[in-house]
Structure 1
């Protein structure tokens, strides 16, 4: 009697090799951009790592587990995966970033009031979505 491979491995075996490689490459690019965001202000880190998780789930359970167990980013990724939660400090940072971004947009572009209103409405919608996420 042979031992059965874990379910994650069986699922990966069913996928084509080229699809797994594509998901792996996309996940690695997203992690790379996320880690660059650690050093560059206003470039989000956690957002790119959240996007990398499903890529690794489809290509490399080992890398997915590495991200989930990462001492700095793992807790936020687990909270997002389990509850869709956004920490309060991240909510505040996103609201501040949207406000500063809108201010810079108005200052640099000097849009018509219609365009400014459209952009403001989109940002208010995004801010509302962030507000409604659990903390």
Structure 2
């Protein structure tokens, strides 16, 4: 491999090049060892270039919102999402068997079916710690 693989653009995990299998047999798969996000191509050099092009992480805005054009959350992780009309808890799903990507809200409804697609997201805050009188 001529070019070194950059970290995963979604979770920062280590990427690896492996031979594709199943419907991707004969192609090179660049795969994240943590979140399993992947890029496929027939030639390894092209697959690496495509992976590395996506891997430039954009910083969050000062408000904490991250544009989906810059970075997506790890698949199947609950986040706070916004689509211009709605803000709520949602998760971004990458369904590899269908090569399909979509957002679901906390009721398992597809956000795109209910209104505009998600434009921004941010990680959920940590849960509060119990105080002394609550323990």
- Asked if these proteins are the same fold (TM beyond 0.5), I'd say no
User: In proportion to residue count, which structure has more helix?
Assistant: 1
State the TM-score, normalized to the length of structure 1. Answer: 0.30
Tell which structure's C-alpha radius of gyration is larger. 1
Which structure carries more strand by proportion? 2
